[in-house]
A and B are shown apart, each in its own frame.
Chain A
Amino acid sequence: DADVTQTPRNRITKTGKRIMLECSQTKGHDRMYWYRQDPGLGLRLIYYSFDVKDINKGEISDGYSVSRQAQAKFSLSLESAIPNQTALYFCATSVSDRADTDTQYFGPGTRLTVL
C-alpha cells in the first residue's frame, strides 16, 4: 500500500465550484505539504503544516485553504475554483526539522481541471 495517498486522482470541475483534495499518510510524519505543478514552473508550495496545530502559507496560497484534521490527514480546498487553478497537485510529507535529512515523500498527485 502507498504511504502517501491522494484522492481523487483526477477531477474535472467548473468555475466557481468548491473542491476538496484529500491527502492521507501512513508514514507517521508530522510535516505535510501541498504543492502544485505547472508546466515550466516546477513545483510550488501552497501550504504546509509542521504539526496538527500548525498551518502556514506557502508562496502561492491565494485562492486555497487547508485543514489538518489529524496527523495523518491534510486537505486542500479551493473555495471557488477558477481556470488558472488547473494543475497537478501533490501532497508530501517529511519527518525531520533538518534540511540535510528532510527528504519529502510525495503522493501520486491529483490532476485538477477547472473549466
Chain B
Amino acid sequence: DQQVKQNSPSLSVQEGRISILNCDYTNSMFDYFLWYKKYPAEGPTFLISISSIKDKNEDGRFTVFLNKSAKHLSLHIVPSQPGDSAVYFCAAPANAGGTSYGKLTFGQGTILTVHP
C-alpha cells in the first residue's frame, strides 16, 4: 500500500515560471515530510522539509506547503530554472507516530523539465 503518492509522473514548465509538484499521503500520523531531488546518474539529494506543525517552509526559490486536512503537500519552485530539471521525490518517515525514525517511505517521483 503506497502511503505517499505522487500522481503526476511528469511536469513541463517554461523557464521563469512556477513549478508546482504535488504529493498526497494516506497516513495521518506522518509528522514530517521531505523532498528530494535526483539528477540522472546521481543519488537523490535532500532539498527541503516540513514539520506537520507548520503549513509552509521556504528556502530560497523553494517553498513547501502542507495541507493536513487534505493530506496533501506541494513543492513550489519560483522562478523555475533549467537546472531544476530533475526527478523530485516526496518522502515521509516510515514509522509514523512511533519512536523508530530513520526509515523513509518515498513517493513514485515526478520528472520536472524546465525549458529555456
Binds A, one of B45-53, B59-67, B69-77: B45-53
List the A side residues contacting B105 at CB < 8 Å: 45, 59
Is A26 on the interface with B (CB-CB < 8 A)?
A: no
**Residue pair B106, A43 in contact (C-beta under 8 Å):** yes
**Residue pair B41, A109 in contact (C-beta under 8 Å):** yes
**Residue pair A99, B44 in contact (C-beta under 8 Å):** no
**Residue pair A42, B108 in contact (C-beta under 8 Å):** yes
Known: A42-B89, A92-B43, A103-B46. A97 touches B104 (CB 8 A): no
Known: A4-B43, A103-B34. A43 touches B89 (CB 8 A): yes
Identity of the chain A residue whose Cβ is nearest the Cβ of B91 in the assembled complex: A43
Q: Please count how many residues in chain B sit with their CB below 8 Å of the partner chain's CB atoms.
A: 28
| A36-90, CB < 8 A from B | 40-45, 48, 50, 58-59, 90
**Residue pair B106, A42 in contact (C-beta under 8 Å):** yes
Is A100 on the interface with B (CB-CB < 8 A)?
A: yes
Bound CA span A105–B36, Å: 10
Identity of the chain A residue whose Cβ is nearest the Cβ of B40 in the assembled complex: A109
List the B side residues contacting A33 at CB < 8 Å: 103
Partner of B31, one of A42, A59, A99: A99
List the A side residues contacting B104 at CB < 8 Å: 43, 45, 102, 104
**Residue pair A42, B107 in contact (C-beta under 8 Å):** yes
List the B side residues contacting A45 at CB < 8 Å: 94, 103-105
**Residue pair A108, B41 in contact (C-beta under 8 Å):** yes
Partner of B42, one of A48, A50, A96, A109: A109
Partner of A31, one of B9, B49, B102: B102
Within the complex, the shortest CB–CB distance from A66 to chain B, in Å, comes to 14
**Residue pair A100, B44 in contact (C-beta under 8 Å):** no
**Residue pair A43, B44 in contact (C-beta under 8 Å):** yes
Bound CA span A106–B41, Å: 12
Within the complex, the shortest CB–CB distance from B74 to chain A, in Å, comes to 17
**Residue pair A94, B43 in contact (C-beta under 8 Å):** no
**Residue pair A48, B102 in contact (C-beta under 8 Å):** yes
**Residue pair A106, B102 in contact (C-beta under 8 Å):** no
Identity of the chain B residue whose Cβ is nearest the Cβ of A111 in the assembled complex: B41
